[in-house]
Amino acid sequence: DAKTTQPPSMDCAEGRAANLPCNHSTISGNEYVYWYRQIHSQGPQYIIHGLKNNETNEMASLIITEDRKSSTLILPHATLRDTAVYYCIVSPDQTGANNLFFGTGTRLTVIP
Amino acid sequence: EAQVTQNPRYLITVTGKKLTVTCSQNMNHEYMSWYRQDPGLGLRQIYYSMNVEVTDKGDVPEGYKVSRKEKRNFPLILESPSPNQTSLYFCASRLTRAYGELFFGEGSRLTVL
């Protein structure tokens, strides 16, 4: 399974867009990119996922590069409640190994 | 309400005293998994199960056992807990074996003295 690398921390001003990068240079063709976030010590919460095309939902947008080796999660108008640790993971779509690697994520701090 | 329920949420125990952390999901999910979270180390997978009677080791299985006798339950067993198993534990489930979002429980904070 592909592993991911993310910056350990980022700051973002309230109301501005937060752009969180993720590198997954060893991703294979059948692996999806998933994003989760964890507020304080609560259970992580699913945000969005994608395979090749850019995706958008009510929470965020996901931009995946054409070579699929990196992606960016965009929170269009960050609020204080978006302060959290954000995890980018890759997951196979078929019966591959299911050892899902979360790593340490990016700690996003939204500043008033 | 669709949810993953873990019990206990908080537990302080002593070295060597067997304990079980239960996990139950009400969404008929095939896949279930246990993670532990420690400062600076992120979320690390302990065990996972792709269906009833099918379990596999994750990154840090030492000192843990699991079972999947029923689809909805996936208990984590610490036969002889040690202080290095002091951690925050999360159970998660997913609809299918290999695709879909993970639903996490609220976490179980375990302290082994």
Which residue of chain A is at minimal alpha-carbon distance from B109? Answer: A41
Calculate how close chain B gets to A99, using CA atoms only, in Å: 6
Report yes or no: B92 at the A interface, CB cutoff 8 Å: yes
Note whether A74 contacts B: Cβ–Cβ < 8 A.
no
pLDDT greater than 90 at residue B101: no
Amino acid at A81: R
pLDDT given at position A94? 52
How deeply is A90 buried, as exposed, middle or buried, from its count of CB atoms within 10 A (0-12, 13-18, 19+)? buried
Distance CA(B104)–CA(B23), nearest Å, equals 10
Residue type, A56: T
A53 vs B: CB within 8 A: no
Token couple for B92: 């998660």
- Is some CB atom of chain A closer than 8 A to the CB atom of B62? no
User: From the list A41, A46, A98, which residue is nearest B50 (CB)?
Assistant: A98
- The pLDDT, as a whole number, for residue B1 is 84
pLDDT at A29: 82
What confidence score (pLDDT) does residue A1 get? 53
CB pairs under 8 A between A and B: 69
d(CA A89, CA B88) in angstroms, rounded, equals 20
For the beta carbon of residue A34, count every other beta carbon within 10 angstroms: 22
Provide the mean pLDDT of chain B: 94
The band of B99, judged by pLDDT with boundaries at 50, 70 and 90, is: confident
In terms of CA atoms, which chain A residue is nearest residue B92? Answer: A43
**DSSP characters over A22-86:** EE-TT--TTEEEEEEEE-TTSPPEEEEEESSS-EE-SS-EEEE-TTSSEEEEEETT--GGG-EEE
SS3 A95: coil
Across the interface, whether the CB atoms of A44 and B90 are under 8 A apart is answered yes
pLDDT surpassing 80 at residue B42: yes
Q: Which residues of chain A have pLDDT under 50?
A: 95-96
Q: Which residues of B7-24 are buried (b: 16+ CB within 10 A; e: fewer)?
A: eeeeeebeeeeebebbbb
Contact A43/B98, CB-based, under 8 Å?
no
Instruction: Sort out which chain A residues have CB atoms less than 8 A from B40's CB and list them.
Output: 104
Scanning B21-50 for CB atoms below 8 A from A yields: 31, 33, 35, 37, 40-45, 48, 50
Sign of the torsion angle spanned by Cα atoms B73, B71, B100, A29: positive
Q: What pLDDT digit, counting tens, does each position of A9-22 carry?
A: 999 999 999 999 99
